[in-house]
């Protein structure tokens, strides 16, 4: 299959994923059937290196597939995005780490919790880590975990931030996820107790930011020359755009049939309803077009081996965070136009999307001020000291 054929196969899954959206919420994790179908479609191999049977695809194809999944089921879209991007991250690791993950099983999946909440102790040959990591979306379907941690000096001052790659047998999952939105994402806690992680499975964040990582020696594809911050923050916004697009389509379909008793008219004939639909559609479209444009420009430069300008990286962060903001506002507008019945619990697609986008907005990557100030500094020619660019 080509990566475009994978995208087509993912689109074909939409009816089944939509049918199981309520099941995902009831389970508080993505149904196993969804994961198996995405696996069979080739989705999880889109960003996997070709050396291990992946597609090393254009990231725009990956995000388009995420959007299609999220339109059908927000929780599955969220999990598919964050779990689906982790092969890209593992491809940056020392080749020995990649072999440990995919040598025995090319279909191995990886979850994550990047916030450095655990304790890290340097030891001979690597590190020992302990602690609790939160919000690991899709962890029930993963074989490995990427866990963030700070390395400190003798005085306790941070000197490095690393991401530790840990196999499933060396951590446990605490089922604590019980939320209003993205209920089916299974974003549970990962608990580790004094586990040794060898040096080659502890990737420092500095080289990742500087685009000089050991994985480049074996993975020459251009997708692995993209900035971490651009790839990962877009990974968070892409499903939110998809959720908003799905809500828009559901709202328009319902509005065509809806009769407003209080005004004695078909809602479709209400000019104010028409304006709200137009505003929501424009915000969702603008969000997606900007995300795709920025990723396409970054990828084209990576293909040529050209420098990735700081201004473009700052614009990517600007548009990523505003994509989330616009899509949350668009779904709010659709809810305001949906009437009181839309607030009832049950299978309603718009109210589920409304809960999902507001929950997704809470992710650290969606903090608008922190992202927008980077663009402002870049535009003004100021020195920027931020690893998330």
Cβ proximity of 191 and 171 under 8 Å:
yes
Q: CA angle, corner 207, sides to 320 and 140, nearest 5? A: 60
Q: How many CA atoms lie within 13 A of 258 on its CB side?
A: 20
Q: Report the pLDDT value the prediction gives residue 259, as an integer from 0 to 100.
A: 73
The residues facing 121 across adjacent strands are 128
For residues 200 and 164, what is the distance between their CA atoms, to the nearest angstrom? 9
For residues 262 and 229, what is the distance between their CA atoms, to the nearest angstrom? 49
Q: Report the pLDDT value the prediction gives residue 268, as an integer from 0 to 100.
A: 87
pTM over 0.85: yes
Q: Report the pLDDT value the prediction gives residue 266, as an integer from 0 to 100.
A: 87
Residues 149-185: b if buried by 16+ CB within 10 A, e if exposed: bbbeeeeeeeeebbbbbbebeebebeeebebebbbbb
Mark out the alpha helices in the chain (DSSP H runs).
3-12, 14-19, 21-27, 32-41, 59-72, 74-90, 95-102, 205-209, 228-257, 271-304, 310-336, 349-361, 368-379
Sign of CA dihedral 64, 333, 271, 253: positive
pLDDT (tens, 9 = 90+) of the chain, 389 residues, equals: 899 999 999 999 999 999 999 999 999 999 999 999 999 999 999 999 999 999 999 999 999 999 999 999 999 999 999 999 999 999 999 999 999 999 999 999 999 999 999 999 999 999 999 999 999 999 999 999 999 999 998 888 999 999 999 999 999 999 999 999 999 999 999 999 999 999 999 999 999 999 999 999 999 999 999 999 999 999 999 999 999 999 999 999 999 987 776 667 788 899 999 999 999 999 999 999 999 999 999 999 999 999 999 999 999 999 999 999 999 999 999 999 877 777 777 778 999 999 999 999 999 999 999 999 999 999 999 999 888 88
Q: Report the pLDDT value the prediction gives residue 185, as an integer from 0 to 100.
A: 98
Q: Report the pLDDT value the prediction gives residue 262, as an integer from 0 to 100.
A: 65
Instruction: Tally DSSP H helices, then E strands, for the chain.
Output: 13, 10
CA dihedral of residues 14, 16, 17, 23 (deg, nearest 10)? 160
């Amino acid at each position: 299959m080509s990566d475009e054929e994978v995208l087509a196969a993912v689109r074909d899954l939409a009816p089944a994923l939509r049918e199981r959206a309520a099941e995902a919420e009831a389970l508080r994790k993505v149904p196993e059937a969804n994961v198996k179908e995405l696996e069979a479609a080739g989705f999880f191999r889109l960003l996997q290196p070709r050396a291990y049977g992946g597609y090393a695809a254009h990231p725009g194809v990956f995000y388009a597939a995420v959007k299609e999944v999220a339109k059908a089921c927000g929780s599955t879209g969220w999990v598919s995005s964050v779990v689906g991007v982790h092969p890209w991250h593992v491809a940056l690791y020392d080749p020995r780490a990649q072999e440990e993950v995919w040598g025995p099983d090319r279909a191995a999946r990886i979850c994550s919790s990047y916030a450095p909440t655990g304790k890290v102790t340097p030891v001979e040959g690597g590190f020992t880590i302990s602690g609790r990591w939160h919000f690991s979306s899709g962890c029930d379907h993963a074989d490995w975990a990427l866990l963030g941690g700070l390395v400190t000096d003798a005085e306790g001052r941070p000197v490095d931030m690393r991401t530790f790659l840990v196999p499933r047998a060396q951590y446990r999952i605490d089922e604590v996820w019980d939320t209003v939105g993205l209920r089916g994402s299974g974003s549970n806690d990962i608990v580790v107790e004094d586990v040794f992680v060898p040096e080659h499975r502890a990737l420092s964040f500095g080289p990742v930011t500087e685009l000089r990582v050991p994985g480049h020696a074996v993975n020459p594809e251009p997708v692995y020359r993209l900035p971490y911050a651009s790839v990962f923050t877009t990974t968070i916004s892409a499903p939110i755009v998809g959720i908003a697009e799905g809500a828009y389509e559901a709202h328009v379909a319902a509005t065509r049939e809806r009769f407003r008793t209080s005004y004695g008219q078909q809602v479709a004939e209400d000019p104010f309803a028409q304006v709200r639909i137009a505003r929501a559609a424009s915000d969702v479209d603008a969000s997606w077009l900007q995300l795709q444009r920025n990723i396409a420009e970054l990828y084209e430069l990576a293909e040529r081996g050209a420098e990735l300008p700081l201004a473009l990286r700052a614009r990517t962060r600007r548009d990523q965070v505003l994509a989330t903001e616009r899509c949350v506002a668009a779904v709010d507008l659709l809810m305001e136009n949906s009437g009181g019945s839309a607030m009832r619990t049950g299978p309603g697609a718009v109210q589920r999307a409304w809960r999902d986008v507001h929950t997704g907005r809470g992710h650290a990557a969606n903090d608008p001020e922190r992202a927008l100030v980077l663009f402002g500094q870049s535009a003004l020619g100021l020195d920027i000291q931020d690893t998330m660019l």
